């Protein structure tokens, strides 16, 4: 972890959103269950249909492998009219850390390509194949490989953004806080519907169902790392961050987003909270595909200086 000195920072203040509500374990666990409601099931089907359509057309698409194993590969969608390296979004998919690949989660690929950006979906081991700390390390390594091989992939290493949805938002933020050199290449970080403090999950969901221990939950919670930095009057080196969440998400997802944005701002990180009106966990992702999308505008603003300088 790289961090800056404390000179410009404010005195430490407790995070008003850090504690979960006083609920039974069952009630708390229900607030993190995004698959039981019929609405969410329909919205998830819509996202999967968008992903399937992107791969059905396969315009500008290629798959690249960085290792001989099942993980360590990316799907890249390039604008068909690209003449030289283009800006790119590096995307970390969700799925409770144990489901999906980039094949089911390319729901932003078409919107990125239409805006002149590449979409790069990275892949990694699932819970059950690897422990959570190892998955975080694999995501870091995957992003590092994309940055290192950017020119060969047809993308501009000076115009990159990082994004993640749901558990992918957790992994994307964890990777961005790794302090690795590639973090300096990112111009924006977009986090949608994420869980940044994993302690409520470890408290309320049986370990054999959840897939990680309470100790791993603490070690792999980027919000807790930020809390520790704040107490030490240190701040992380991060690009601008947009913390997005559907305003019809469960109270716990809203609280997690508020807690993260509040702490980032207290650490003088350029952070903004976006509550997407009328959206829940899965259909919030559809906002990115709208012509007036605030999430897409945030990413475009982040890479604009690099585009102008090119």
Over residues 211-237, the pLDDT tens digits come to 999 999 999 999 999 999 999 999 899
Which CATH number covers residue 41? 3.40.50.1820
- Residue 235 to residues 6, 10, 173, 238, 268: CA-CA distances in angstroms? 7, 11, 14, 9, 7
- The answer to whether position 307 is within a domain reads no
Average pLDDT over residues 136-164: 95
DSSP string, 222-238: HHHHHHHHHHTT-EE--
As a whole number of angstroms, the distance between CA 183 and CA 290 comes to 28
Structural domain of residue 256, as residue ranges? Answer: 3-300
Q: pLDDT band at 5, cuts 50/70/90?
A: very low
Q: Which residues contact 73 (CB under 8 A, 6 or more apart)?
A: 63, 64, 65, 66, 67, 123
- The answer to whether position 86 is within a domain reads yes
- The answer to whether position 306 is within a domain reads no
Our CA angle for 298, 292, 43, nearest 5°, is 95
- What's the count of helices (H) and strands (E) in the chain, helices before strands? 12, 10
Q: At what angle do helices 222-231 and 251-266 cross, to 10 degrees?
A: 30
Does the global pTM surpass 0.85? yes
pLDDT at residue 60 above 80? yes
- The answer to whether position 214 is within a domain reads yes
Coil, helix or strand at residue 276: strand
Tell me the backbone φ, ψ of residue 263, rounded to 5 degrees: -70, -40
Tokens (6 digits) for 61: 């698409």
Domain count for the chain, please give it: 1
- The answer to whether position 308 is within a domain reads no
Over residues 28-46, the pLDDT tens digits come to 999 999 887 788 889 999 9
pLDDT at residue 1 above 90? no
Over residues 245-255, the pLDDT tens digits come to 999 999 999 99
- The answer to whether position 250 is within a domain reads yes
Q: What is the pLDDT of residue 79?
A: 93
State the alpha helices, DSSP H only, in the chain: 25-30, 38-57, 109-114, 132-148, 150-153, 167-176, 199-204, 207-210, 214-219, 222-231, 251-266, 294-309
Half-sphere exposure of 157 toward its Cβ, with a 13 Å CA cutoff? 16
- The answer to whether position 97 is within a domain reads yes
- The answer to whether position 309 is within a domain reads no
* Count of beta carbons in the 10 Å neighbourhood of residue 8: 9
């Amino acid at each position: 972890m790289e961090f800056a000195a404390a000179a410009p920072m404010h005195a430490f203040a407790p995070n008003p959103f850090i504690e979960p509500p006083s609920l039974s374990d069952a009630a708390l666990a229900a607030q993190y269950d995004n698959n039981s409601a019929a609405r969410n099931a329909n919205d998830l089907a819509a996202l999967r249909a968008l992903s399937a359509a992107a791969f059905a057309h396969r315009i500008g698409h290629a798959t690249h492998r960085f290792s001989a194993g099942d993980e360590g590969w990316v799907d890249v969608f390039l604008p068909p009219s690209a003449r030289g390296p283009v800006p790119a979004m590096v995307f970390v998919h969700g799925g409770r850390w144990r489901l999906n690949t980039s094949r089911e989660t390319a729901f932003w690929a078409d919107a990125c390509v239409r805006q002149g950006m590449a979409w790069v979906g990275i892949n990694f081991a699932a819970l059950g194949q690897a422990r959570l700390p190892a998955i975080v390390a694999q995501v870091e390594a995957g992003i590092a490989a994309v940055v290192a091989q950017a020119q060969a992939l047809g993308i501009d290493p000076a115009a990159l953004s990082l994004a993640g949805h749901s558990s992918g938002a957790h992994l994307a933020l964890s990777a961005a806080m790794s302090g690795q050199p590639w973090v300096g290449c990112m111009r924006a970080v977009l986090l949608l519907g994420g869980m940044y403090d994993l302690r409520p999950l470890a408290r309320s969901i049986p370990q054999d169902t959840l897939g990680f221990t309470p100790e791993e939950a603490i070690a792999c919670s980027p919000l807790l790392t930020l809390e520790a930095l704040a107490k030490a009057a240190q701040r992380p080196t991060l690009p601008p961050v947009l913390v997005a969440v559907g305003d019809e998400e469960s109270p716990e997802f809203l609280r997690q987003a508020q807690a993260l944005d509040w702490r980032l701002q207290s650490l003088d990180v350029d952070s903004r909270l976006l509550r997407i009106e009328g959206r829940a966990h899965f259909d919030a992702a559809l906002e990115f595909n709208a012509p007036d999308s605030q999430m897409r505008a945030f990413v475009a603003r982040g890479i604009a200086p690099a585009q102008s300088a090119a």
